[in-house]
A and B are shown apart, each in its own frame.
Chain A
Amino acid sequence: MSLEVSYNSDEMMTVSAARMLRNGAICFVGIGLPSTAANLARLLHAPDVVLIYESGPIGAKPAVLPLSIGDGSLAEEADTVVSTPEIFRYWLQGGRVDIGFLGAAQIDRYANINTTVIGNYHRPTVRLPGAGGAPEISTSAREVLIIVRQSRKSFVEKLDFVTSAGFLTGGDSRRQAGISGGGPSAVITDLCVLRPEPESHEFIVASIHPGVSAERIRQNTGWKIRFEVDCGETTPPTADELRVLRDLKARTAAAHGMPEPVV
């Protein structure tokens, strides 16, 4: 018998994402949710994962989560720190990255991502931060994991702008566009885990987090979302996973002088 441990939906999301990072993988990490999940994996089952940040650190082992993509803690414990052009030219475009780990502002059913604008490009309603490294991470990494909170605002029928390619219009369209990397293999949210359906490459629900209903997932998705036939329940976080995650966040909040733990 295992003890019941309470946790919140963000913790479930981060733990699910961390579990997907295999030990020894070469992982190109985005800041924020991806960085939290990647470092959790490193502290749990994947001590030999190689974390690459776009600011230049290769083999980063930050003691606390970086607040920005270029925090000094990333450089201090890294195997090496190279210039930003080198990161993108030799290491990413050079084909040395197994997994690209990305976040998103908006995502569609083929896991294309928008982090550029909401509304018309030239007269945007909301100007988002922009592409960063994502357009090339999503095409050059052998595999892509996407971590994003699920809502009608983030899971949309049609993107206002495609910043980074997923499976484009589905089917064979990604390969037809000449994109070398294999594309997104999972989208991890605070409600569920989605995987691409073979052939169509539409993302469908592969496992539902404990306590979440299928109806709630439908309500928080801007398209008619489908579920795998044998869609199961996500394994809840273990006490160990939660302890390591909470320790990491507490250390991070203390180190950055922040009142609330960062995600």
Chain B
Amino acid sequence: MDANAMSMTFVVLFLPFVAALVAPWLTRHLKHNAAWVLALAPLAIFMHFLGFSAEIGRGEIVTGGYQWVPAFNVNFSWLIDGLSLTFALLISGIGALIVLYSGGYMKGHPQQGRFLAYILLFMGAMLGLVVSDSFMMLFVFWELTSITSFLLIGFDNRREASRRAALQALVVTGGGGLALLAGLLMIWNITGVSEVSLLLRFGEELRDSPYYLAVLILVLGGAFTKSAQFPLHFWLPNAMEAPTPVSAYLHSATMVKAGVYLLMRFNPVLGDTPAWETILPLFGGATLIVGTLLAIRQTDLKLMLAYTTVSSLGLLVMLTGFGSEQAVKAAVLYLVAHSLFKGALFMVAGTIDHEAGTRDVRKLGGLMKAMPITFVSALVAAVSMGGLPPMFGFLAKEEVYYALWASDPWALTFTLVAVIGNALMFVIGFAVALKPFLGAPVETPKHAHEGPVLLWLGPVILGAVGLAAALFSAVTHHFVSSPMASAVAGRPEEVTITLIPSIGMPLALSVVTVALGIVFYLRLEQLRLAMAGLLRTIGWGPDQGFDQMMRGIVRFSMAVTRIIQPGRLQTYMMVTFILIAVALMVPMFVYGELPGWPDFAASDATFYELAVIAIAVIGLVAVIIARDRLTAIVSLGIQGFAVAMIFMLFGAPDLSFTQFMVETLSVVILALVMTRLKLSSPDHRPRAEMVATSLVAGVCGLGFTLYLLRVTEGVMDLSLSVFFAEFSKPIAHGANIVNVILVDYRGTDTLGEIGVVVVAGLAILALIRIRLRDTGVTDTVQSTPVDDAPRPLAEPAPAMEKA
């Protein structure tokens, strides 16, 4: 890839984000017509990626990128092959139509600019995801799609239902993203490469690794949550709370296909194992059947489509994991077909809702006259969804039956699953496309008429593309299907299927599907009632399960918080000091590192040094026997001053200087705290508590003494002291080593510390103010032992050790 094309791709990847930035501004000035301008961004992206199709059609792949964090071998690199090119074209192409559609659908909405910005942000995330080569980039964009979809689903944030749906989608897909991250890191660890394009050579190694199953489960955790596989499918129908353009974009062509994309991407390296070929078809097949059955139950157009999306995703997962080249080809064709017809149908559902004022299929009818263009585009999409010629959906369904049909029981089971699933999807497709339009006109909440061009342009274009792709199937296969199938299979594949069916089992199965579909369609009402009855009998679903889980998490965290954060300072101090005592004493005993008895006789302490030590001891004894708190505080000050004197005598003037000041201020502040909190002067705690605290304090003190003795027994390594003494003046221009270390050698540390000091000051001030405002607390705090710790407010202490 030449440098020019490389920087162009880089720019293109960021184009949606730039467009999102200007979207609110443009919308303020151009109103809903801003959509025409904003749609140029996805269009430009589409054209850029179309430029790659010649190379991709020849079976080449294009990679490029820049270093991101070279120290960790993390790159911003992309990989464009058949798979990512098809996805990129779908994302940008349908994205352009969705932006236009949003312009019409959200016309006059006060937050239209914000909505368009979110859509474009999502587009950028999705585009980044499918072209990512490096694992980290893949993961970042993966989570970015979760976050932007959270914004989109919760767009109508005044309604509780949409807030819940948004949160649910975020928890499920974001959680799956974390599993994916773990899986990617494991792959990185096993193979040593962090790029998808390099990974292809390591398939053997990965499959033979003892961690293969763990990797597989983690990656599937990401894919199954994103692609709404049973039993994690519940978030997708709930996400229908979002405005319809979101559903048409995220929940048909893009977001939910990310999971399928991931599976297809890793098929060459993770696939072709018994685990892969068991788990995927089973989950996919179950999702296919459950999705269609639940779709039958619905009467809301959007929900019907949402559940069939769940089942289509199931079919895709099933095919991806089936293990034959035929299945891969079928998955590729079905993915493209589904993106086209499902996007169109969602947009149609939105247009009906927008123009007629309801989405309930029972309250709609006879709209054909009023909305002819919408009706035709809905019909075209439904024909594709039902797998009838001459649409692209027909090719996909034929290929599906080619792939599945075989005579062993495993294949027969899945053929049966596919036939039933397809028949039911046929039913839903035509229910959405026919029921609102045919029959006698019904009184609708709004007087229905054809929507503006912005609303019908999208479905019409998608329908036309679906038709053209099937009619010129050789071109489609050359540029799209074959390269994509090759990328998924990991070796060159050729897709050849055309509209002219060959007589054989697949065609027979198609006929059975259509026949079944017509039967079901005629009995849709009975089926719906039967399903509703069945669901009532079961009475529980994963959706309720989600709520129960969330409540459980909240209860659990509250219980844990109650234990570890009881809110009593005394408990915190006690736990802290017990841990200090344990940390000091246990290692010394376990590793036999106790110090020997110090040789007092050999010490050459002078009388004034001994006098200072005596003062310190007297201060200490006074603290312990002091009857009231003020005396104790002052005695503590005496002891601290004596220590400062010792520092002075042993040649640490800086340390001693600081110690003096800290001690003075500690005494002043502690005395102030006492008067401020109106603490009673004598200390009246129960005897048992006194014994316990003195025991802990004693062990801490003893531990420190032993520790210091042990340390001084060893040989001091003076190399650092020598280094500082030697270089502090010549390279840091300062003779005071302590100060030079503080502000120069370790200046960044000090910067962090003064940050902590400011934050601590803010916190203390806030605490004092809370007390001032809420005088009622004063009496209750009186009995709580805020003052029991020797220096609860000596906040200079952390910095003291530095100075």
Q: Does chain A bind chain B? A: no
